[in-house]
Amino acid sequence: MGLAERKEREKNELRELILMKAREIIIREGQNKLSIRKIAAEIEYSPATIYLYFQDKDEILYQMMQKGFELMATSMEDIYHESSPTKRIFLIGKAYIRFGVENQDWYELMFNAVSPMNHIERCKSEWGPGIAIFEYLVSTCSEAISENKLTTLDARILALQLWSTVHGLVCLANTLRLTIVDANCEQGKECDLLDKTLENSMLSLFNYIV
């Protein structure tokens, strides 16, 4: 390996270390406690070194958000091969809910944190994998509309409706609000109410029975 390649590898490794330590701090202390100085102390570098890799804390959180979307996309890879678009929508919904309740720290950063979106607004960064997942849902909704002959529906609005449903379920589960409806939902990922609500949505929209 040449000198240039080694330096590039070391640069990428330090960049990944910064992101990893930032995530550890968020898990341990919460997102509001994250700072460039704390990350620098964790990796035993000066804050100035971190600024060579990231513009500010918002950009660090933005890059972490991107990683979260990549993980979510990977968790859905097997679903893309499902031939029926209606069933594919159901499987996407299940995978989304499962990812959200099993990866609460990632989910909070991806969908409920302000800082990453501050970076997008200021730097005009693309939402990348996040919008790719949504656009895939839109195209699948378009196929499902044709399959079920629901020509009065708009694919993009339908995708937003479905996203709103699963996002709401994940947020209710992660904040334990579902216990108000069902006391057995104290642990969100073990709550049958999540699947049953998704199944009812599929029945209402597509007359799809699981």
- Domains identified in the chain and CATH numbers: 1-54 (1.10.10.60), 58-206 (1.10.357.10)
What phi and psi values does residue 109 have, to the nearest 5 degrees? -70, -40
Residue 165 tokens read as 């449903």
Cα–Cα distance between 110 and 45 in angstroms, integer? Answer: 27
Task: For the chain, 210 residues long, give each residue's pLDDT as a single digit of tens.
Answer: 677 788 888 899 999 999 999 989 988 888 888 999 999 999 999 999 999 999 999 889 888 888 889 899 999 999 999 999 999 999 999 999 999 999 988 898 888 877 777 767 766 566 677 888 999 999 999 999 999 999 899 999 999 999 999 999 999 999 989 888 888 887 655 788 999 999 999 999 999 998
Residues 88 and 79 sit within 8 Å (Cβ to Cβ):
yes
Give the residue carrying structure tokens 């589960």. Answer: 173
Give the residue carrying structure tokens 């678009």. Answer: 85
Task: Quote the pTM value.
Answer: 0.85
Res 152: pLDDT: 93
Res 88: pLDDT: 97
Give the residue carrying structure tokens 């994998």. Answer: 129
